[in-house]
Amino acid sequence: MPHGYSASTDGYFAFAFPSSWATNNIYSDDTGDNDLSGPGGWVAEHVGVRDTAPVVGESQPKSLQYFGMPAATPYTLTGGSPVSVPGAVAYRYTMTRPGGFRAAVIDAWRPTVDAEVWLVVQSDAATTDTILASLNS
């Protein structure tokens, strides 16, 4: 675990987040959505079940519209480059919204349990890179 970070696990995937961040109940629920936020940013995840590997450009879960926003807000995903997430098939995207919003997004699927996570990180580059590099299944 990187110094100054804590672990988050949902039973299928795990990642590190800054220890100064805490669960934000506005964006967290008992149906697979969790948000951790604090000084300098946030990380949100949506966990679901699917029986096939994701493909670039497919539909995303509705909760991504809400992560980091007070109401559903349109966004665009660009990229869709394969990335390494141990034990998973994964793609990395960039999320943008009007007004200069920018976040990193990983869509990862763990075939051994048919679990999928959409991880959205909005923070400075170093924190974003640390969180994304720690994602594993």
Instruction: Note the pLDDT of residue 31.
Output: 65
- Number of domains forming the structure of the chain: 1
pTM of this prediction? 0.93
Q: Is the pLDDT of residue 26 over 80?
A: no
Query: Domain containing 111: what range?
Result: 5-134
Instruction: Note the pLDDT of residue 70.
Output: 84
Give pLDDT tens digits for 49-74. Answer: 999 999 998 999 998 998 888 888 99
User: Among 8-17, 77-86, 115-124, which is the least confidently predicted range?
Assistant: 8-17
- The domain that holds 107 is classified in CATH as 3.40.1000.10
User: Which three-class secondary structure string do you get for 46-108?
Assistant: EEEECCCCCCCCCCCCHHHHCCCCCCCCCCEEEEEEEEEECCEEEEEEEEEECCCEEEEEEEE
Helix, strand or coil, per DSSP, at residue 126: helix
